[in-house]
Amino acid sequence: MMDGVQINSEATQSDKSENASSDIDDALRKEAKRAPDAVHTGKVTKETQIIAIYGKGGIGKSFTLANLSYNLARQGKKVLLIGCDPKSDTTSLLFGGRSCPTIIETSSIKKAAGEDVTIGDVCFKRDGVFAMELGGPEVGRGCGGRGIIHGFELLEKLGFHDWDFDYVLLDFLGDVVCGGFGLPIARDMCQKVIVVASNDLQSLYVANNVCSAVEYFRNLGGNVGVAGMLVNKDDGTGEAKAFAEAVNIPVLSAIPQHEDIRRKSAKYEIVGDPEGDWGELFSELADNMMSAPPRQPKPLTQDELLELFSSDETGADYLLDPATPEDMCDPAILEKKSLEVVYDNV
Please identify every residue annotated as catalytic.
56, 61, 87, 175
Element holding 185 (H helix, E strand)? helix 183-186
Distance (Å, rounded) from C-alpha 292 to C-alpha 210? 18
Distance (Å, rounded) from C-alpha 130 to C-alpha 124? 6
Distances (CA, A) of 140 to 37, 136, 143, 144, 331: 22, 11, 8, 10, 43
76: left (phi over 0), alpha (psi -120 to 50) or beta: left
DSSP state of 182: T
Residues recorded for the chain: 346
Cβ-proximal residues to 294 (8 Å cutoff; 6+ apart), any chain: 191, 192, 193, 223, 224, 225, 226, 227
104: three-class secondary structure by DSSP: helix
Distances (CA, A) of 181 to 60, 105, 147, 232, 346: 17, 18, 9, 22, 71
Distance (Å, rounded) from C-alpha 86 to C-alpha 101? 12
